[in-house]
Each structure stands twice: as C-alpha cells, then as structure tokens.
Structure 1
Amino acid sequence: MMKLNPILLTLAADNALKRLENPRHRAIVANYRLHAMLEVAGRWPEIFVPELTVEDPFYRVSSPVGVLELRGTEQVQSFYKGLEHAATTVMLLEHEELVVDDWGFASEALYHTFMSGESAIARGLPDADPTKKYIEHRWICMVWPYDDKARMIGERVYPAHTASFTECPEEDFLTLDDVRRSFDPLIAEAQAALRRPA
C-alpha cells in the first residue's frame, strides 16, 4: 500500500463548496470542514469556540455495545479526550455523500481510522499484534443539526456494527504530525475566514 493523502478527509466538503451557492448551506459545510480538520489534527478544543459550536451541544453516538448520549460541553469534551487518549483521532474519509439543507447536513462515508495494535484489539480485532499499526475501515452515517447562526448543535453518529482492518506498514502509517502538516495551514485559513465579517 502507499501513504494516503490526508486531504481525502475534506474532499466531499471541498467539492460541495465549489457547487453550493446558498450562503447558509455554504456556512454549514465550511463549519463541518473546519470541525473535521480540527478533530483529526488533535486540535479538538478549538471546535468549541462560539463561532463553531453552540453552548450546550448534544451528541448521540451508536456503537455495538449501545447508544452513548452526551449532553453539554463537559461530556462532549470528555468524549474527545477519550479519542485522544486512545490515539484514534487520525482518520480519512472515502466515498463521502454529503446532503446539505437549511437544518444541517447528513453524510455517509467509509472511514479509515489509523491506530495502534492495542487500539485495534479494543476496537474488535482480538488477534491484532500490539506492536504493529492498523487501519480500521468502517462505514458511518452522520446527521448534524445547526442553529440559526450556522453553528453545530451536535452530532448523531451511526457506525456500521462491523468493520475490517488492514495491517499498515510503518512507512504508510499516518501520524498526528503528518495530518497537522497538511491541515494546520488550511485550519488557519478557515479560522480567519470564520472571523471575517460577512
């Protein structure tokens, strides 16, 4: 295999911004794009600025063991801290279908999440080698509502209950440093646009 380009993460959003003309729909997609880059680059605290996210977000995340409901900034931030602790924030999307309307957007995509062997064991690959690197491949549907200022109200995340895993050679493994090199300049540009008067 060869090292994947981190920019795959935002391909659907980038393409949507090229075709969308409705200002509200563009604002929603731009918000989603910036949120995704911040999350994958491990800069999740910056998601909670008042320009991006409402003061009292609500997340509903389904999993094979049940449905997790997170209410308020403290609970949602604890969720992100858990992803950071497990070192599973680096992910890319393929085949994303993005549907945008006044209420927000819905998305379906194949997620490729880069992780250690230990995380792969915890995520459902019991015979993974803890000393090696893996990529989890899982289809995920999402629904994100937005408020009247085009700020994210929360996430509804519905992953497929089954996933496949690929052992990843060290030289092809995407690290946090890799994605930060790609996304930090794009994040700075998107944050400047967010602060710019309409």
Structure 2
Amino acid sequence: MTTQAGLDTADALTTLELTPGFDVTYLPRKIEELLDATEKPLHRAILKNYLRHALLEISGYWEEILVPELTIDEPVYRIAERGAVHSLVGHEAVLGFYREVFETKTNVMAARATNMCVGDFGVVTEMVFAHMTPGAVLVGQDIGQPVDPDSHYLIQHNVMQNFVYTAGAKLIGERVYDDPVSYSYGKLIPSEVVTPEMAREQLAPFLSRAALD
C-alpha cells in the first residue's frame, strides 16, 4: 500500500505509520485507548469482550474464547483468506478453527496500523495485519519464493474485520475480509521470531487487567 503521509487525516492506512516492527502489544494498546475514550456502557462492554477475545487468541488460550461469558452458543464466522471465503457455523466448527490455529502455531498475530470504531452492533477494525508463520505451514503454497520449512515467515496483508455482538455484549460472530493482492511474505532470521511462548509472556499484563466487569 502506498503512503500519502502529506495529507491531513486520521486514517491510519492513508498515512501508513506502521509500527517499527512486529509488536503483539500494539493492538491491545489501541483497544485500551478506545476503551478509555468510550463512555456508553454497551460499547465499553463490547470493547472489553473484544479485548479479552484478542488476548486469549494470540496468547494461545483458545479453549477460553467460546465460553458463555464471551460468545453465544452457536457463533457464525465468515473468514476471507487470499480470495477464498471460509464459512464456520456453530460451536464445534469455530472451536475447530481455533484449535487448528493453535496447533499450527499461527496464533501469533499483530496489527501494524489500525483504524477502529465501536457501535451498538460491535467493533469494526481495519488493519495492516501481520502473522508469525512457521515455514512448514507454507509448504506447497505459492508465496513467490522458495519455502524453508525450518524457518519462520512474516505474512503481512490488509484486512477489515467486523466483530458483531448481542445487546448483552456477547460475540455473535466475525466477518473478516482481506485484500488478496496485499499479501507479502518475508523470511525471518531467528532473532526476529516471536514464538507463542514469547507472545503469551508479553500479553500477560494485558490479560491480567482485561476483566469483563
């Protein structure tokens, strides 16, 4: 994406002031900032749910995402990825999705620039999004370069997410739309890799204060 930094705008994807590097704390910090500026009780409850959901997913606590306090019994997800749309309907399908993300160690994700807003419907977030991805997961995929299964890659792309909630601030589901032509793949040196264990440690302070009430 081309930056237009000279324009007077608050749009993060126009100015494209990316984080200096991969930072799993950036997204929760932005959610906390919006929460601090939000007064309506429903909107605050939705943001608290959204924050806890994100922290649990990136930290690898996937079994805690679909608990009744956070999510309705039968959520519905529509996730677009590289031009393909995956429809996940019901508890078991969505739980299986999170299990696969955890088991493939692709749960370490970070925003590098974001626009975010909250309404009675839920939270919309537009991001330059980045994923730490083991090379073994990419074997057989066309990423424009040879894949080393023993290395890690940083996948970066633009994505729009709509997390929708009930009037009681429980997650109904996710609608995620990515930009298929925005994908880039960078092979990482070992010192650049953020492991699931490192992400969990970095996010622990956020999770400890991300109570729903």
Change (3 A) 1:92 1:72: same
Partner residue of 2:187 out of 156, 163, 167: 167
Aligned pair 1:185/2:205, yes or no?
A: yes
Matched residue SS, 1:49? coil
CA contact (8 A) 1:9 1:91 kept: no
Aligned pair 1:89/2:107, yes or no?
A: yes
In 2, Cα distance between equivalents of 1:38 and 1:122: 30
Aligned pair 1:44/2:82, yes or no?
A: no
Partner residue of 1:153 out of 152, 164, 172: 172
In 2, Cα distance between equivalents of 1:155 and 1:181: 26
- Residue type of the partner of 1:131? D
- Residue type of the partner of 1:142? Q
CA contact (8 A) 2:71 2:171 kept: yes
CA contact (8 A) 1:3 1:172 kept: no
Change (3 A) 1:86 1:110: same
Give the equivalent residue in structure 1 for 2:196: 176
C-alpha RMSD over aligned residues = 1.8
TM-superposition CA deviations, 1:81-120 (whole Å, max 9, x none): 2212322110111211112111111111011100111223
TM-superposition CA deviations, 1:126-171 (whole Å, max 9, x none): 5122222110001111111100110110000111113101121111
Q: Which segment is superposed worse, 112-121 or 89-98? A: 112-121
Matched residue SS, 2:146? coil
Matched residue SS, 1:21? coil
Give the equivalent residue in structure 1 for 2:4: none
Give the equivalent residue in structure 1 for 2:17: none
Matched residue SS, 2:172? strand
Give the equivalent residue in structure 1 for 2:157: 138
Give the equivalent residue in structure 1 for 2:71: 53
Percent sequence identity over aligned pairs? 31
- Residue type of the partner of 2:191? E
- Residue type of the partner of 1:184? A
Greater share of residues in strand: 1
Give aligned pairs, total: 192
CA contact (8 A) 1:12 1:97 kept: no
5+ residue gaps, structure 2: 1-19
Aligned pair 1:23/2:31, yes or no?
A: no
TM-score, normalised relative to structure 2: 0.84
Matched residue SS, 1:48? coil
Alpha-carbon shift at residue 19 of structure 1 (Å): 1.0
